[in-house]
Structure 1
Amino acid sequence: MNWIDKLERKFGRFGVENLTMYVIICYVVGYFLTYLNPNLMDMMSLDVAKILHGQVWRLVTWVIYPPSTGNFLLFVISILFFYYPIGTSLERTWGAFRYTLYIFSGLFFVLIAAFLTYFITGGYVTIGGVSYMIGGGVFTTYYVSLSVFLAYAMSCPDMQILLWFVIPIKMKWMAIVYGAIILYDMITYLRVGLWVMAVPIIASLLNFVLFFFSTRNMQRYNPKEVHRRREFKKAVAQSRVNPATGGITKHKCAICGRTEKDDPNLEFRFCSKCNGNYEYCQDHLFTHQHVK
């Protein structure tokens, strides 16, 4: 059981149902405020210097910045045909708690990165001998939203979507393309000395990295575990050699030793309650003692 499983057992009731809808509502409010009153939106950005001077509401209000403030039609299309279906599907796949933890951890990492960057730089970055103030627009939810897409691609890599509503493409290939775009953005910022712009990208994707490695059984890469699996495969292969014919069989009952060559009408099933790959014929599937 990994740390996410343990957290879910203790705090699973705090998962936010339909979180994707609430996030979209925040984006819609932020989108309209950007065009109705840009000065008001400036008062809600993640500006650490102003937070330290008492504007503590910025710790929360910065999340209403939409990932894109461009063309309104493009914004609606990206929300209705991209973010909402993917977010809700990921929530159904993972469960409300894990999805909530994923989104909030991404926002938390960006918040921490903003403060660390401010304390390291003093709120200014120097490029070509000229100092520039690090504004609140540097740290946004753009890459946090992108991490939702990457997480969905990892969970459903073979899911097919229509690119530009025409070209069918699998999610795993789209994830590779977006990963290349993210890497290109980081390299571009670093080459021109704007390392500060690369910080929110890394921070926004820490939740993806954290979830990816925590949900993988890294023990399987242990040399002892690799050797054990090889020996097990050899033993299984040898046990399935039919002494009468010398041929290799696909199925063998762990109780009576019969194979499909003994009786073509026999059915075989693996037992989900036994520890290990134990296969049984139809006569012993429900009557054997489970291996613990």
Structure 2
Amino acid sequence: MNFLDKMERKYGRYALSHLTMYIIVTYIAGYIIQLAAPIMRQYLTLEPYYILHGQIWRLVSWILIPPSSLDIFTIIMLFFYYSIGTSLERAWGDFKYNVYIFSGILMTIIGSFLLYGILYAVNGYPSLMGTAFSTYYISLSIFLGFAISFPDMQVLLYFIIPIKIKWLAYLDVALLAYSMITSIMSGNWAGCVVILCSLANVLVFFLMTRKGKRSSFQQNRRRKEFKKAVSRGEAEYRNPNGITKHKCAICGRTEKDDPNLEFRFCSRCNGNYEYCQDHLFTHEHVK
């Protein structure tokens, strides 16, 4: 049993349920503040200089600053992040998801003070960082966590193009790497500190649990075994008459539609409900 499992046994009862919903609510509250009293934004940012001078609320208030401006695409993204966030909660459990999110918030705060110290040492006087640290990276960490756990999940890019979520994650990582390289080449080390500290929870969490690596290995092994079974025509997966044996209760796909699909029964649903690999962890449990 790894460290997180031991911690969950001791403190799991204190974990917040529906944490993704609370995150989305804070974003909505931030948009309301921006529309109703935009001048308040400057009192919410994560600024170590002001925190050290008594404005302690900034340690928490920066979470109210939404990751982007409000438009129709932002509303769609909020629904998207709510969907993938709640899926992670179901797959990991409340405690591990809490650790993942709150460790990201804590590392962001630590990173802000680290950057403040660097700027103070270089400039010789206190520096303000504006909104260098924002909730954008919290949302991105949720997306990357989902992509690592469910790399083969398909989404519709621009509502038209089906694409596996892992390719979108690769694109995000490439853009982050490019941003870090350009920051280094321009001498802007502050940009690297912001990215590394804000997303350190992604690296630390998956190094501790190795969840992504373990899931990927088991999934690839099961896929290979399934392909071998299909090629041999074993009755375990399909009977001699070609009648399908597995069918997803959500999308209706069977092993005839895609031989690579894996099917499992959900132990938390009341009744014999079978789901494909894309909906096993994302469906609503039947009670």
Normalization by structure 2: what TM-score? 0.70
Q: Is 1:94–2:88 an aligned residue pair? A: no
Distance 2:29 2:40 in 1: 12
Where do 5+ consecutive residues of structure 1 fail to align?
A: 221-292
Distance 2:14 2:121 in 1: 35
**From 93, 115, 118, the counterpart of 2:113:** 115
Q: 1:132, CA displacement in angstroms? A: 9.6
Aligned residue in 1 for 2:208? 214
Q: 1:88, CA displacement in angstroms? A: 0.6
Q: Structure 1 residues 37 and 154 mapped into 2: Cα distance closer, same or farther (>3 Å)? A: same
**From 131, 144, 147, the counterpart of 1:153:** 147
Deviation string 1:87-120 (CA, Å, 9 cap, x unpaired) is 0111111011111110000000010011122123
Aligned residue in 2 for 1:73? 72
**From 137, 142, 161, the counterpart of 1:143:** 137
Matched letter for residue 109 of structure 1: M
Contact residue 62 and residue 134 of structure 2 kept, 8 A: yes
Deviation string 1:232-268 (CA, Å, 9 cap, x unpaired) is xxxxxxxxxxxxxxxxxxxxxxxxxxxxxxxxxxxxx
SS across alignment from 1:168: strand
Aligned residue in 2 for 1:59? 59
Q: 1:188, CA displacement in angstroms? A: 2.0
The two structures, once aligned, show a CA RMSD in angstroms of 2.6
Aligned residue in 1 for 2:249? none
Aligned residue in 2 for 1:25? 25
Q: 1:37, CA displacement in angstroms? A: 2.2
Q: 1:38, CA displacement in angstroms? A: 2.4
Alignment map for 1:157-172 (pairs within 5 Å): 157-172=151-166
Where do 5+ consecutive residues of structure 2 fail to align?
A: 215-287
Distance 2:193 2:31 in 1: 24
Distance 1:93 1:199 in 2: 31
Aligned residue in 2 for 1:176? 170
SS across alignment from 1:62: helix
Aligned residue in 2 for 1:106? 104
Aligned residue in 1 for 2:4? 4
Matched letter for residue 195 of structure 1: W
Which has the larger Rg? 1
Normalization by structure 1: what TM-score? 0.69
Q: Structure 1 residues 3 and 163 mapped into 2: Cα distance closer, same or farther (>3 Å)? A: same
Contact residue 124 and residue 132 of structure 1 kept, 8 A: no
Distance 1:124 1:58 in 2: 24
Give the total of aligned pairs. 216
Contact residue 45 and residue 61 of structure 2 kept, 8 A: yes
Q: Structure 1 residues 124 and 53 mapped into 2: Cα distance closer, same or farther (>3 Å)? A: farther
